[in-house]
């Protein structure tokens, strides 16, 4: 389980969000919602270990390492401070699917998925038979086995997303973080992607956190919502947050009306 306790995120002396407290349990699909620029990508990069947490007192550089004491640890993975994991150990536990990198265009889909085994493979022996079984299983689960020999530059956006999710599955990490995996997809592809992630969370017992602007599909398919605010995370099931009025309070100032009974938005 990945847990956040009074986490501050940002870049060096610029804090984007403060006092973030939440937990990401296994077997759950969690949707991270928020407005543009609210810090969703920054949070995902911090949870992936790509950015360090910001000190609670940005003036004091001595507070930047917040692992001095149990109550002060902002990020824990399986009960241990995340800062205690090496990069290789962390890669075995957390996989992240970020924006597609153009320099990988010449690779085939199968080669990209094989990269997911790097944290487990030996530099001397390369991929073992067990590694290749993991790769093939990931391709099958994501319906990308038929794409294995095609170059990425020949794939649609939806196919590419599935390939990178397959890479995350081949990595065999219990936690998967995705930044806008439904961006640039048509509506049927968005729904198919969310169904895939929900199925992987439930059937593979993965803890999956994705950021998205596709609010209504997330309300229908996510187990839990994280509403990201500058002063914290409001977490709960879509139904609970709807009935409490939290979803309406979060989105209605943007000119929309939320019908909690129908779980639908309308524009004013």
The C-alpha atoms of residue 41 and residue 179 are separated, in whole angstroms, by 6
DSSP secondary-structure letter at 108? Answer: B
Provide the pLDDT for residue 57.
56
Provide the pLDDT for residue 183.
84
End-to-end CA distance of the chain: 40
The C-alpha atoms of residue 253 and residue 243 are separated, in whole angstroms, by 18
Q: Strand 14-24 to strand 2-11: parallel, antiparallel, or no bridges (unpaired)?
A: antiparallel
Provide the pLDDT for residue 103.
60
Mention every residue, 6+ apart, whose C-beta is less than 8 A from residue 256.
Answer: 265, 266, 267, 268
Provide the pLDDT for residue 124.
66
Other CB atoms within 10 A of residue 137 CB: 15
Provide the pLDDT for residue 161.
87
The C-alpha atoms of residue 222 and residue 202 are separated, in whole angstroms, by 11
Helix (H, G, I), strand (E, B) or coil at 39: coil
Provide the pLDDT for residue 69.
43
List the pLDDT tens digit at each of the 268 positions of the chain. Answer: 899 999 999 987 789 999 999 999 999 999 999 988 889 999 999 999 999 999 865 444 444 444 444 457 899 999 999 999 999 999 999 999 986 555 667 899 999 999 999 998 877 678 899 999 999 999 998 889 999 999 998 998 888 888 999 999 999 999 999 999 888 788 888 898 899 999 999 999 999 999 999 999 999 999 999 999 999 999 999 999 999 999 988 887 767 888 888 888 887 6
Instruction: Report all structural domains of the chain as residue ranges with CATH numbers, in order of start.
Output: 2-236 (3.40.50.300)
| Alpha-carbon distances of 123 from 5, 110, 157, 165, rounded to whole Å | 37, 19, 32, 24
């Amino acid at each position: 389980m990945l847990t956040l306790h009074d986490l501050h995120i940002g870049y060096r002396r610029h804090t984007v969000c403060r006092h973030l407290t939440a937990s990401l349990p296994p077997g759950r699909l969690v949707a991270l919602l928020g407005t543009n620029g609210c810090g969703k990508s920054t949070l995902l990069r911090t949870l992936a270990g790509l950015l360090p947490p910001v000190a609670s007192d940005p003036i004091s550089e001595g507070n930047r390492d917040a692992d001095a004491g149990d109550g002060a640890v902002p990020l824990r993975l399986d009960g241990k401070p995340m800062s205690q994991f090496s990069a290789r150990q962390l890669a075995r536990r957390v996989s992240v699917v970020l924006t597609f990198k153009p320099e990988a265009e010449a690779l085939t889909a199968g080669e990209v998925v094989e990269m997911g085994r790097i944290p487990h493979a030996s530099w001397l022996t390369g991929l073992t038979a067990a590694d290749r079984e993991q790769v093939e299983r990931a391709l099958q689960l994501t319906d990308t086995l038929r794409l294995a020999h095609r170059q990425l530059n020949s794939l649609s956006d939806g196919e590419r997303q599935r390939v990178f999710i397959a890479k995350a599955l081949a990595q065999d990490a219990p936690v998967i973080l995705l930044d806008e995996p439904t961006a640039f997809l048509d509506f049927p592809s968005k729904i198919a992607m969310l169904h895939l992630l929900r199925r992987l969370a439930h059937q593979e017992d993965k803890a999956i956190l994705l950021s998205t602007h596709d609010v209504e599909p997330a309300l229908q398919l996510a187990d839990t919502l994280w509403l990201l605010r500058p002063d914290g995370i409001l977490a709960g099931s879509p139904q609970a947050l709807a009935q409490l009025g939290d979803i309406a309070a979060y989105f209605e100032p943007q000119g929309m009306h939320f019908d909690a009974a129908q779980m639908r938005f309308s524009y004013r």
